[in-house]
Amino acid sequence: MRVRALRTGPAAWLQALPFGAVFLCFFILPLVLVVAVSFWPTSDYELIPGFTVENYRAVFEGCSQLADPCLTLRTYASTLRFTALTWAVSLLLGFTIAYFLAFHVRSASLQTVLFVVCTIPFWTSNVIRMISWVPLLGRNGLVNQGLVGLGVVDEPVEWLLFSEFSVVLALVHLYTMFMLVPIFNSMMRIDRSLLEAADDCGASAWQTLWNVIVPLSRTGIVIGSIFVVTIVMGDFITVGVMGGQQIASVGKVIQVQTSYLQFPLAAANAVVLLAVVLMIIAALTRMVDLRKEL
Amino acid sequence: MSDSCDPKTTDAQRRSLLKGTAGILATGLFPAVHAADPITLRYLGTAVNQDKAIAEKFKADTGISIQYVAVNTDEVSKRAVTSPNSFDLIDTEYFSLKKIVPTGNLKGIDVKRIKNADKITSLFTTGQVAGKAVGDQGTAPKKVIFLEGEKSKVFASSPTQFMSLIPTVYNADTLGIRPDLIKRPIESWKELLNPEFKGKAAILNIPSIGIMDAAMVVEAMGLYKYPDKGNMTKAEIDLTIKTLIEAKKAGQFRSLWKDFNESVNLMASGEVVIQSMWSPAVTAVRTKGIPCVFQPLKEGYRAWAAGFGLPATLSGKKLDGAYEFINWFLDGWAGAYLNRQGYYSAVLETAQAKMEPYEWAYWMEGKPATQDIKSPNGDLLAKAGSVRDGGSYEQRMGGIACWNALMDENTYMVRKWNEFVAA
Which amino acid appears at position B401 of this protein?
Answer: A
Give the bridge partners for B67, in sequence order: B42
pLDDT level of residue A132 (50, 70, 90 thresholds): confident
Roughly how many angstroms between the first and final C-alpha of chain B, as a whole number? 49
Greatest alpha-carbon pair distance for chain A in Å reads 78
Name every residue whose Cβ is closer than 8 Å to that of residue B102 and which is 6 or more positions away in sequence.
Answer: A45, A46, B153, B154
Closest among A174, A176, A171, A172 to A97, alpha carbons compared: A176
On whether the CB atoms of residues B40 and B67 are closer than 8 A, the answer is: yes
Q: What is the pLDDT of residue B1?
A: 37
Alpha helices by DSSP H, listed for B119-233, are: 122-125, 141-144, 179-182, 207-220
Question: How many CB pairs (< 8 A) connect A and B?
Answer: 146
Burial group, residue B23, by CB count within 10 angstroms (0-12, 13-18, 19+): exposed
**Considering CB atoms only, which of A127, A246, A293 is closest to B255?**
A246
Predicted pLDDT at B17: 57
- Say what the pLDDT of residue B11 is: 57
Q: Please indicate whether residue B423 or residue A221 has the higher confidence score (pLDDT).
A: A221
Residue A109 backbone dihedrals phi, psi, to 5 degrees: -70, -40
Q: Which residues on chain A are in Cβ contact (under 8 Å) with B419? A: 71
Q: Say if A218 is an interface residue toward chain B (CB within 8 Å).
A: no
| φ/ψ of residue B314, rounded to 5 | -70, 135
SS3 A142: helix
Q: Considering only CA atoms, give the Rg of chain B.
A: 24
**Given an 8 Å threshold on Cβ–Cβ distance, is A191 in contact with B4?**
yes
Segment A3-22 shows an average pLDDT of: 80
Kindly calculate the radius of gyration of chain A based on its CA atoms and give it in whole angstroms.
24
Q: Are B138 and B229 in contact (CB under 8 A)?
A: yes
Nearest residue of B to residue A61 by CA position? B415
Instruction: Return the half-sphere exposure (C-beta side, CA atoms, 13 A cut-off) of residue B149.
Output: 4
CATH number of B175-299+398-422: 3.40.190.10
Which residues in chain A (1-40) have CB-CB distances under 8 A to chain B? Answer: none
Domain-wise residue ranges, chain B: 40-172+303-355, 175-299+398-422
- The pLDDT score that the predictor gives to residue B42 is 93
State whether residue B152 is helix, strand or coil. coil
Q: What is the pLDDT of residue B3?
A: 41
In the prediction, which pLDDT does B4 show? 41
Measured between alpha carbons, how far is residue A125 from residues A146, A254, B105, B329 in Å?
27, 22, 34, 33
Q: In what order do the strands lie in the sheet with B109-110?
A: B109-110, B162-163, B146-147
Cα distance from B377 to chain A (closest Cα, Å)?
23
Specify the pLDDT at position A294.
Answer: 64
Domains (ranges, CATH) in chain A?
Answer: 65-293 (1.10.3720.10)
Distance CA B220, CA B210 (A): 15
Give pLDDT tens digits along chain B (423 positions). 344 444 445 555 655 655 555 555 544 444 443 444 467 999 999 877 788 899 999 999 998 999 999 887 778 888 898 888 999 999 999 999 988 999 899 999 999 999 999 999 999 988 999 888 999 899 999 999 999 988 888 899 889 999 999 998 899 999 999 999 999 999 999 999 999 999 999 998 888 899 999 999 999 999 999 999 999 999 999 999 999 999 999 999 999 988 778 899 899 988 999 999 988 888 889 888 899 999 999 999 999 999 999 999 999 899 999 999 999 999 999 999 989 888 899 999 999 999 999 999 999 999 999 999 888 878 888 888 888 888 899 999 999 999 999 898 988 898 899 889 888
Residue B295 and residue B184: Cα distance in Å, rounded?
12
How far does CA B158 lie from the centroid of its chain?
A: 27
A260 to chain B: which residues are within 8 Å by CB? Answer: 74, 207-208, 410-411, 414
pLDDT tens-digit series, residues A136-145: 888 888 898 8
The confidence band for A7, taking pLDDT boundaries of 50, 70 and 90, is: low
Q: What whole-number distance in Å separates Cα of residue A68 and Cα of residue A65?
A: 6
User: Distances in Å between the alpha carbon of A57 and those of A61, A89, A255, B198, B235?
Assistant: 6, 36, 19, 37, 21
A255 and B CB contact within 8 Å: no
Q: At what angle do helices B279-287 and B260-268 cross, to 10 degrees?
A: 40
- C-alpha span between B280 and B341 (Å, rounded): 7
Give B7's contacts in chain A (Cβ within 8 Å): 189, 191
Rounded to whole angstroms, the Cα distance separating B177 from B293 reads 5
Helices (H), A100-163: 108-118, 126-137, 142-150
User: Identical fold at B40-172+303-355 and B175-299+398-422?
Assistant: yes
When CB atoms are compared, the residue of B16, B253, B418 closest to A108 is: B16
* CATH architecture assigned to B40-172+303-355: 3-Layer(aba) Sandwich (3.40)
Which residues, 6+ apart, have CB-to-CB distance to B107 below 8 Å? B150, B151, B309, B310, B311, B312, B314
The number of angstroms, rounded, from the C-alpha of B163 to the middle of its chain's C-alpha atoms is 20
- Please give the Cα distance from B24 to B18 (Å, whole number): 10
Task: Tell me what pLDDT residue B10 has.
Answer: 52
CA distance B34 to B37: 9
- Closest Cβ–Cβ partner in B14, B24, B102 for A116: B24
Determine contact, residues A175/A255, Cβ cutoff 8 Å: no
pLDDT given at position B29: 44
- The 3-class SS string of B9-65 reads HHHHHHHHHHHHHHHHHHHCCCCCCCCCCCCEEEEEECHHHCCHHHHHHHHHHHCCE
Q: Give the A window 118-177 contacts with B, CB below 8 Å.
A: 119, 123, 127, 130-131, 134-135, 138-141, 158, 161-162
